[in-house]
Amino acid sequence: MRIAVFDSKRYDRATLSQANEHHGHELVFFEDRLNIQTAALASGFEVVCPFVNDRVDAPTLAQLAKLGVKLVALRCAGFNGVDLAAAAKHGISVTRVPAYSPEAVAEHVFALLLTLSRKTHRAYNRIREGNFSLDGLVGFNLHGRTFGIVGAGKIGAATIAIAHGFGCKVLAFDRNPSPERAAALGCTFVSLPELLAQSDIISLHTPLTNETKHMINADTLAGMKPGAVIINTSRGSLIDSSALLDALKSGQVGGVGLDVYEYEEGVFFEDLSGSALEDDVLARLTTFPNVMITSHQGFLTDEALENIADTVLCEVSAFSRGEPLINPVQ
């Protein structure tokens, strides 16, 4: 089948091309993100392969349907950028990659957390300038801390396992708590307010829905343990960024690690070093010494990229043969 791969980077082209040697599809790569302005590029393709910040809304899907597109094969876990009702209306199937590598994202949680807890980013910059002083670099142990996991799915479970290795006590909030899952994961399920009030570290691993949007807001931030560290490797809009900024300024939040941001579209994955950052909130967040931001790179490991490419192409192959889809969103 002919597949239009949108928002593609060099690593996408390399891994998808290698995985395609076993499938034999025709891949055409576009650097453009998929949206209503770029949908015409899909002319002559049966499949489009968008990424996390592509906007596959109702107008875009209507245009794709006119062009003959039958499958949207997402190469990410999140599908909040796709209008599923519109896709169903136009008879377009949607698939995703639900678990490309839970460990990749979970390990990135601790890359962010350890940077914040031991201030290695500040030490690195000092050493490069010939400053070997330790003043201002006092950190804190993870051992013995209470680690709160919001969302105990596959990535949350992988994060819990690592947290145990650091000697943390683990609390978790999830839609489906049970004594059996608590015993298997080695955590205690509590309500979200309890988790926020008791946790020294809070890591977000829940999908973005109408119910979870801005679940971290002015009220929930006020209910957190003073000085808590927040890590978000899930979806940017789980956090009200303006409220987070206020909580950082007041000292209610002791540190923040973000691999996602609610207005990251058009910013993350791009080189903007030659221009001014137009997002005032994001620009302000980058000035805090206790804020660590990475550009949605939690998935970016060799293993995860290979899993993503193989999963996407297996979906397309199943679709081409008329077989049931492996990871349908609808």
pLDDT at 330: 65
User: Among the listed ranges 18-32, 224-238, 267-281, which one has the minimum average pLDDT value?
Assistant: 267-281
Q: What is the largest CA-CA distance in the chain?
A: 65
The whole-number pLDDT of residue 78 equals 85
Question: What whole-number distance in Å separates Cα of residue 321 and Cα of residue 56?
Answer: 25
Tell me, yes or no, if 296 is annotated catalytic. Answer: yes
The active-site residue out of 264, 265, 284, 303 is 264
The string of pLDDT tens digits covering residues 244-257 is 999 999 999 999 99
Q: Topology of 2-100+301-320 in CATH?
A: Rossmann fold (3.40.50)
Give the pairing type, strands 146-150 and 201-204: parallel
Beta carbons of 324 and 318 less than 8 angstroms apart: yes
User: Could you tell me which residues are beta bridge partners of residue 2?
Assistant: 26
Question: What is the pLDDT at residue 205?
Answer: 97
Where exactly are the structural domains of the chain? 2-100+301-320, 102-293
Residue 266: C-alpha distances to residues 197, 233, 276 (Å): 35, 18, 13
**Is residue 93 scored above 80 in pLDDT?**
yes
Taking residues 168-178, report their average pLDDT.
96
Helix and strand counts by DSSP (H, E) for the chain? 12, 12
Between CA 73 and CA 60 the distance in angstroms is 15
SS3 call for 172: strand
Choose the catalytic residue: 55, 235, 262, 315: 235
**CA angle 208–113–10, rounded 5-degree value:** 65
pTM equals 0.91
**CATH numeric code, 102-293:** 3.40.50.720
Q: Round the average pLDDT of the chain to a whole number and report it.
A: 96
Give alpha helix (H) positions in 256-301: 280-285
**Cα radius of gyration (the chain):** 21
pLDDT band at residue 99 using 50, 70 and 90 as cut-offs: confident
pLDDT band, residue 88 (cuts 50/70/90): very high
Annotated catalytic residue 235: yes
What are the distances in angstroms from CA 275 to CA 73, 196, 219, 272, 278?
Answer: 33, 38, 35, 6, 9
Of the pLDDT bands very low, low, confident and very high (cuts 50, 70, 90), residue 56 is very high
pLDDT of residue 98: 87
Q: Is 143 a catalytic residue?
A: no
Q: Which of 296, 303, 306, 323 is catalytic?
A: 296
Average pLDDT over residues 131-150: 97
